[in-house]
Structures are given as C-alpha cells and as structure tokens.
Structure 1
C-alpha cells in the first residue's frame, strides 16, 4: 500500500530571481467520479510497459518520460511496471475521486537496492496571474541533497522520495542538486527550467550519478489563473528544510 503524505508551510515570496522549465502541456479533465494517474518512468536504461489493475495502459515508456493521464475509478488501484523479463515493480495505492496523482518508478537512495515506487499528489488549484506552481521531486539514487535555485540553496536535506512545491513567477530558473551541506559537485545540473504560467510544472530528478544516468522528467498540467499577479506564497512539499536567502523567507518545516 502506498500512502501519500503532504507537509506544507506558507510564506511571502518577495523575490526569487530568474525562471525555469520547458515541459509538455497536458490538459486535465475529470468525470464526476473518476481520478487521474500519470506514470513517470524514472528507471535508467529501461523501456517499461505499464498496466493499471491488470489492464495495459501504455507500452515502451522510455526513461524520464511521463505517460497519461489515465482515468481510473476512485479506490484501491494497482500499478504495474514490467519489461520483457516480467514484472519490475508493482504497488497498490488509493486514489480519491477527482484527484490527480503521479506514480513514479525510480531508484531508491542506494542504487544497489530494488527499484521503488513513490506517489505524489498534484495540486491543481488555480494560481495568481503570471505565476505557476513548480514541484521538484527527488527520485534519484542520491542521499539527502540540497536543491539550489540560481546558485542559492532554497531547500536543504531533501531525501529520496520527497518533493518541494513553490508558487513562483513564470520565468527561467537555473536549478541544480548538490549533496547536503556542500557546494558540489552537482549531482544534477545546473539545468535551465522554463516555468509556464497558469500551470503545475513538475520536475522529477531520476537516475544514478555514479553511472552517469542522471536525467529529469518534466511535464506541465494547466491549472488556470486567478486574481492579480501580486507576489504569492511558496509551499513546501513532502520533505526537506527550507532556508532563507535574498529576502526570501523560508521557515523550517515543523510538521
């Protein structure tokens, strides 16, 4: 059973610098009593088939690709990743009606351990004009790491299977991941990511730096915009500690 937990904290976004992330735009849509599942193929050097509750939904998904959305009935669902040798990974999760989830097949912190699956819930709330929601997920074979934006640590000690979520101005950001408490070498990036306004921009770090297979999976789900383009909040995701820099006040996660 895969459980999804989310920890959030809100604070004012005074300034974050340049912007980031080119992704594929995907239109969301729900029937009254369905949910949507996206699958992210984060296992290096593999081409995987995916089934949900025993029914094939896609085949030959390459590394760092996102497939879906797949509409499912709410309740307990089983997602299976397989290749020509058989089942690679299979886990059950519970989805709610009108929810959106990312199911990520990826390496754990130790690349020698068996692959794992992590589920991230997508917040499709509308964002202020000119802004976007940006989610960065740590799903690579890397110990807890710091995520830097434009050379400054924004979130520290983010573990494998955790994510962070920010509401930011649409722009292009330089993002890299470094070992916690160190300036480098970077295990990923720096990567220029162009964040698109009016959407949920998701970035998944995948792969194994010791085997030079680090990569990113990127996709955008439109959410729509609301209100004015005044500075908004930055929300923490499922883990990591936020830090303070250049007027951006980021409290420690307390819950």
Structure 2
C-alpha cells in the first residue's frame, strides 16, 4: 500500500532514522520505519519531532529500520548546513500504526517534482522455501516494465505504484525498461530472493537526466513450517505451476523440473534395490 504524504516545489527532501534497530522489531505498540533518499543531486538534514536525525543525508542512502512508538511524527527537511529546523524546505506529518513496517521515500514524481511517499511493507508470512519481491517505481520516468531474463514479469508500472510477487528462493536477474520495450534503462542486476524475507527493489532517479538507478532493501518477514514434503509428479507439477504463474521465465521452472527428475531417480534407485 502506498500513501502520498507530501509534495511541493522544493529543491530537497526528506525524512529519517538516525540509528538502526533490529529488523522486524515491530510490536503491538511500535512500528518499524526505514527511509530511502531517492532524489538525485541533493544532500539534506532531516529533523524528526524537532531533533536532528539525519545529518548530510545523501541520495541513494537507505536508513533504518528505526523502531518507533505508534503515532504521528513531524518531519522537517532543511538544507544540509541549516542551524536548526526553523525554516524547513519541506515538512510532513507521518502517521505510523503499531505492528507495521514502513519505508518512506524521498523521490521524484513522474514529472520530476520532489515528493515524499510512505509505503507499507508486506510482512505477511511466506511459505517455506519462498521469499517475497516488491518492485516500486519512484523515478522521474514514464511507465516501466520489470524484466527477468529479458522478458516482462511486471508490466506498465507507474510512479509511485508497486507490484509484489511471492517467489521460490533463488537469484533474479532483474532489469527495468520503458513500458512495451525490452531495452533496459536500469540493470540488469542480480536480486536475491531469500527464504522468509521481503526484498524491495526501487527504481529511482530521472530518465531525462540519465541517472536512473536501483536501490534494494531487505525486510525479514518469516516463513511457515513445511506441512509435508511433496511426493509424486503431482506435487512437483503444482510447484512448477505456482512458480510459472508468479514469475514465468526466470528459470525457476527449470530448477523445479530438475528437482523432480532427481527425486524420481532416487525413488527408482530405491525400488531397484528393494527388488534385488
């Protein structure tokens, strides 16, 4: 889920967390907040509730997670050499709910204007052997396709939207192309899909200024305990179908097929030994 908090005719941004807390520190009374500075060419200071939280926060930096009591937080962004936050170039109030994980992004709109967005990270439990991939478009660029293996797996993603897939553990070679094309404007880059983790990929920067880039964030979400081991061809076929539906051409289908062959050969070998 994405909520637009503030935007304005300012030459800077953003928000923050000055120290790291343990990942997934959320509770019935607290929330986790991370911050990505995704406006090229600007260095700022960030004040949270009147206190200097990030000093000289630079583009591409990712801060957090910060474990915070649930509530509203006033964010003032100033020039990097400001004495205090009495004359902010941007101010915003950020509402944080308990037991949730958030990432705030200071980024450009598709028209190139500064904006502050608050994303709620999907921390629902994943299946054993799976991770979650979320892609977020926070760049000054038109709609894009997310490519894996040179083909689109997410189509026509616009700023500031996101798309999420649950995938088997492995490595995805991801790239970003303008919608309807396959020529990467960002990447390709290897993105790990880890068991019980949410991997978030941000496309940020400006297409016009030729400084588009990727940023990657990892959030621990946990995974369920396996209910059983798949047996027979039906189990492997279902596994392949789920992978193909989620992320067809990445190559995980090949890995699942290989696992199926190995399992079949093991069963056959055991059968031969029993006959002997």
TM-score under structure 1 length normalisation: 0.74
**Which range is displaced more, 76-85 or 211-220?**
76-85
1:212 aligns with 2:210: yes
Q: Displacement of 1:151 after TM fit?
A: 1.3
Counterpart mapping for 1:171-182 below 5 A: 171-182=170-181
Higher relative contact order (CA 8 A, sep 6+): 1
| TM superposition shift of 1:71 | 2.6
Q: Does 1:101 align with 2:102?
A: yes
How far is 1:91 from its partner?
A: 2.2
Contact 2:25 2:67 in 1 (8 A): no
Give the CA deviation at 1:88: 4.4
Tell me whether 1:35 sits opposite 2:34 in the alignment.
Answer: no
Offset of 1:190 from its aligned partner?
Answer: 1.6
CA distance in 2, matches of 1:79, 1:66: 17
Question: Structure 1 stretches of 5 or more lacking a match?
Answer: 5-24, 235-241, 248-255
Does structure 2 conserve the Cα–Cα contact (< 8 Å) formed by 1:61 and 1:67? Answer: no
Contact 1:166 1:233 in 2 (8 A): no
Partner of 2:56: 60
Q: Deviations over 1:155-206 (max 9, x none)?
A: 211111111111111211111111112233x221122212222211111111
- Detail structure 1 runs of 4+ shifted over 4 Å in the superposition: 229-234, 242-247
Which residue pairs with 2:236 in the alignment?
none
CA change 1:207–1:171 in 2 (3 A) is: same
Q: Partners in 2 of 1:119 and 1:157 — Cα distance?
A: 21
* Cross-structure match for 1:226: 224
Question: Distance in 1 between the 2:36 and 2:242 partners?
Answer: 27
Q: Which has the larger radius of gyration?
A: 2
Asked if the contact 2:167–2:246 (Cα under 8 Å) also holds between the matched residues in 1, the reply is no
Aligned residues: 218
Structure 2 runs not aligned, ≥5 long: 5-20, 83-87, 231-238, 251-276
Q: Report if aligned partners of 1:136, 1:203 keep a CA contact under 8 Å in 2.
A: yes
Q: What CA distance in whole angstroms lies between the structure 1 residues aligned with 2:69 and 2:99?
A: 9
Which whole-Å deviations, capped at 9, do the CAs of 1:6-48 have from their partners, x for residues lacking one?
Answer: xxxxxxxxxxxxxxxxxxx962213431212111110112233
Q: Is the 8 A contact 1:57 1:70 kept in 2?
A: no
Task: Return closer, same or farther for 1:70/1:50 CA change in 2, 3 Å cut-off.
Answer: farther
More helix by share: 2
Note the 1:106-185 alignment, pairs <5 A.
106-111=107-112, 114-184=113-183
Contact 2:25–2:31 (CA<8 Å) still a contact in 1? no
**More displaced 10-residue stretch of structure 1: 208-217 or 116-125:** 208-217
Secondary structure in 1 matching 2:3? coil
1:245 CA drift (Å) = 5.3
Q: Tell me the distance in 2 between the aligned counterparts of 1:211 and 1:90.
A: 26
Q: What secondary structure does 2:208 align onto? A: helix
Q: What does residue 234 of structure 2 align with?
A: none
TM-score, length-scaled by structure 2? 0.69
